[in-house]
Amino acid sequence: MSEHPNVAVLRKGYDAMAQGDLPTVLGLFAEDGVMHVNAPAPLGGDHKGREAIGQALGHLVEWTGGTVSLQVREIFADDDHAVVLVRETATRAADGAALDVSEAHLFRLKNGEATEFWDMPAGPDRVAHDEFFGA
């Protein structure tokens, strides 16, 4: 059985993120896509449109001094939706605090582009995630 095309699209995006290639990552989002980040301010909230998503990703890179890593464990996708299970690790640039959590990234897709994205830390990792991004 062959891999669904949206699995390949998302794998390309996560590979680009690992390389620091934000233009390729942004190209996976629809022009009017929305990224819902489940974290405290200043990084959390709803980021609407590629420009706002790019700014949010830029803040993430800055917040972590470029150390953020999303290790893909599994990708499930069909024509309209996807779930990507990841291990997110990072070091906070301001004080060296470490993050190591499991997350589910949920996507709504249309024509091979992400129209919506949700970042959902695993239940037990929720507090660590909020503490890391809320400091």
Report the number of distinct structural domains present in the chain: 1
Instruction: Give residue-wise pLDDT tens across range 16-71.
Output: 999 999 999 999 999 999 999 988 777 889 999 999 999 999 999 999 999 999 99
Instruction: Give residue-wise pLDDT tens across range 71-85.
Output: 999 999 999 999 999
How far apart CA 81 and CA 110 sit, in angstroms, is 9
Please report, for the domain that includes residue 100, its CATH number.
3.10.450.50
Asked if pLDDT for residue 1 goes beyond 70, the answer is no
Asked if pLDDT for residue 4 goes beyond 90, the answer is yes
Q: What is the band of 134 on the pLDDT scale with cuts at 50, 70, 90?
A: confident
pLDDT for the residue numbered 114: 98
Q: Where are the alpha helices (DSSP H) in 5-93?
A: 5-18, 22-27, 50-63
Cβ–Cβ under 8 Å, residues 102 and 85? yes
Which range marks the domain in which residue 18 is found?
5-134
Query: pTM for the complete prediction?
Result: 0.93
pLDDT for the residue numbered 84: 98
* CB-based burial, 65-101: b 16+ in 10 Å, e otherwise: eeebbbebeebebeeeebebebebebbbeeeeeebeb
pLDDT for the residue numbered 38: 82
